[in-house]
Structure 1
Amino acid sequence: MAETGGGRPGYARMRLGVIMERRRIDHPWQKWRVAAVEVLPEPPELEPGRPMVEDEAVSRYYGGTFVLELFADETEAYKYNLSASRPAVYVILSEDPAARDGFRAMRVSASPWDAQAHGETALDRVDAVPMPEPVLAFVKDFVDRWYRDRPFHKRRRRGADRPPGEGSEFVPLGGGEEGS
Structure 2
Amino acid sequence: MSNRPTSEVAVLMRRERIDNRWQPWRWSLADVVPNEPAFGVEPRLLRQDEREEQWLFPGFAVELFRDDAEGYHLNLASPAPCWFVMWRMDEDTGTGLPLARPVEVSLSYHDAGRWLDAQESVEQVPAPPEVLEGLRAFVDANYQPEPKRRKRPDSFRSLQDRFGNPASVSTEKLRGGGGGGGHG
CA offsets 1:101-153 (integer angstroms, 9 cap, x no match): 3321111011122111111223x211111212332222112112211122123
Aligned residues: 157
TM-score normalised by structure 1 residue count: 0.75
Shift in Å at residue 5 of structure 1?
Answer: 4.0
Q: Percent identity?
A: 29
Which residue, 83, 98, 102 being the options, matches 1:101?
A: 98
1:57 to 51, 61, 66: 51
> Partner residue of 2:174?
none
Which of these two proteins has the greater Rg computed from alpha carbons?
A: 2
Change (3 A) 1:31 1:42: same
Question: Which SS does the other structure have where 2:5 is aligned?
Answer: strand
- 1:53 is paired with a residue whose SS is strand
Q: 1:71-150, aligned counterparts within 5 Å?
A: 71-99=65-93, 101-122=98-119, 124-150=120-146
The equivalent of 1:13 in structure 2 is 6
Q: Which amino acid aligns with 2:22?
A: W
Poorly superposed stretches of 4+, deviation over 6 Å: none
1:31 corresponds in structure 2 to 24
SS in 2 for 1:116: helix
CA 1:161–1:31 in structure 2 vs 1: closer, same or farther (change >3 Å)? farther
Q: Which one of the candidate residues 146, 151, 161 is aligned to 2:147?
A: 151
Alpha-carbon distance change, 154 to 115 in structure 1, aligned in 2, over 3 angstroms: farther
Partner of 1:175: none
Q: RMSD over aligned Cα, in angstroms?
A: 2.5
With normalisation by structure 2, the TM-score equals 0.74
Q: Distance in 1 between matches of 2:62 and 2:114?
A: 17
In structure 1, stretches of 5+ residues that fail to align are 168-180
